[in-house]
């Protein structure tokens, strides 16, 4: 019996040592991933100062969801605090990162998911904004430079020890880094499928897939199915606009804005939403599903 207990203790002690060594290795690897610098090519933006561009930038801050994460005043907020990490949305005002961000820094962060120091912005959904045009980004930057400054300390995600271990294993710290080349301009804002495609291929495709045919999204604790959006393109216009502005589906279900950001489409102009509907309609009906 004593021999059995002795060997059991040796085995358990060895496993504990291996676990500590493995955890330390993952912690080290994760820390390196968090600190890694990413080089991306940014555009030479000319930031406008006219009132129309500033108004456009303010509108974009709504329809692209900046205010949903960073707050109505864009002063940042805590989005969650758990053992792996403290998730925050940065203070974008001149009282926060806006104090020192250049147009190139804004481009790097918004369309490419990389901070001023080159580190990946872990929770920044740059995949939704990578195809934002230079023209729209310049208007958004112009607006961000004029918002009222708010002094607080919301800067970036705080990686805790468990988070650093996970960053060395299942969590891809750089998954939000996008090196694609965004367009310089975009279609005219009118009720055409081309204008709707501009929005759909950015924000909508981020979750629903490059063809908008639906896919599993694994950004949260559990995978979520983002459905085939072609079905929505077959809805009557009145139904489409009602769902996109109220967040209530045709069967009466209230959509969770943290899963389906209908608050963004609710801020779109009617022309923008109609353009989106026309584009989705142009894709044809969704593929039939098995009963």
Q: What is the largest CA-CA distance in the chain?
A: 85
Residue in this structure with the two tokens 């468990």, named with its chain if needed: 162
Any residues with CB less than 8 A from the CB of 137 and at least 6 apart, and which? 43, 45, 106, 107, 110, 111, 182
**How many domains is the chain partitioned into structurally?**
2
Does 143 have pLDDT greater than 60?
A: yes
Tell me, what's the pLDDT at 23?
63
- Give 154-210 pLDDT, tens digit per residue: 777 888 888 888 877 888 888 888 877 888 888 877 778 888 999 898 889 988 998
Distances (CA, A) of 253 to 235, 248, 250: 16, 5, 7
Tell me the residue range of the domain where 62 lies. 51-176
Query: Both 162 and 207 in a single domain?
Result: no
Any residues with CB less than 8 A from the CB of 107 and at least 6 apart, and which? 42, 43, 45, 137, 141
- Could you say which of 117, 145, 176 is where a domain stops? 176
Q: Is 142 exposed, middle or buried (0-12, 13-18, 19+ CB in 10 A)?
A: buried
3-state secondary structure of 85: strand
Does 10 have pLDDT greater than 70?
A: no
Separation CA 213–CA 230 (nearest Å): 7
Tell me, what's the pLDDT at 7?
46
Query: Both 94 and 159 in a single domain?
Result: yes
Residue 24, in any domain of the structure? no
Residue 186, in any domain of the structure? no
Any residues with CB less than 8 A from the CB of 65 and at least 6 apart, and which? 128, 203, 261, 263, 264
């Amino acid at each position: 019996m004593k021999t059995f207990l002795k060997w059991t203790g040796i085995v358990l002690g060895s496993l504990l040592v291996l676990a500590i060594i493995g955890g330390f290795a993952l912690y080290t690897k994760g820390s390196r991933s968090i600190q890694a610098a990413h080089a991306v090519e940014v555009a030479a933006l000319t930031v406008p100062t006219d009132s129309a561009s500033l108004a456009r930038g303010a509108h974009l801050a709504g329809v692209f969801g900046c205010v949903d994460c960073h707050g109505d005043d864009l002063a940042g907020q805590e989005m969650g605090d758990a053992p792996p990490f403290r998730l925050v949305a940065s203070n974008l005002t001149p009282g926060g990162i806006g104090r020192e961000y250049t147009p190139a820094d804004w481009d790097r962060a918004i369309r490419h998911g990389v901070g001023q120091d080159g580190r990946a912005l872990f929770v920044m959904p740059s995949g939704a904004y990578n195809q934002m045009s230079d023209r729209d980004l310049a208007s958004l930057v112009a607006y961000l430079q004029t918002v009222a400054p708010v002094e607080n300390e919301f800067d970036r995600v705080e990686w805790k020890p468990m988070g650093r271990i996970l960053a060395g294993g299942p969590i891809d710290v750089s998954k939000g880094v996008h090196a694609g080349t965004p367009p310089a301009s975009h279609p005219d804002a009118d009720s055409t499928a081309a204008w709707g495609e501009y929005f759909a291929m950015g924000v909508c495709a981020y979750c629903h897939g490059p063809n908008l045919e639906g896919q599993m999204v694994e950004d949260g604790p559990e995978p979520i199915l983002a459905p085939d959006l072609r079905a929505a393109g077959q809805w009557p216009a009145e139904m489409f606009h009602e769902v996109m502005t109220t967040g209530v589906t045709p069967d009466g279900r209230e959509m969770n804005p943290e899963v389906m950001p209908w608050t963004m489409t609710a801020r779109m102009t009617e022309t923008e939403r109609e353009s989106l509907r026309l584009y989705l309609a142009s894709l044809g009906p969704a593929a039939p599903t098995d009963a």
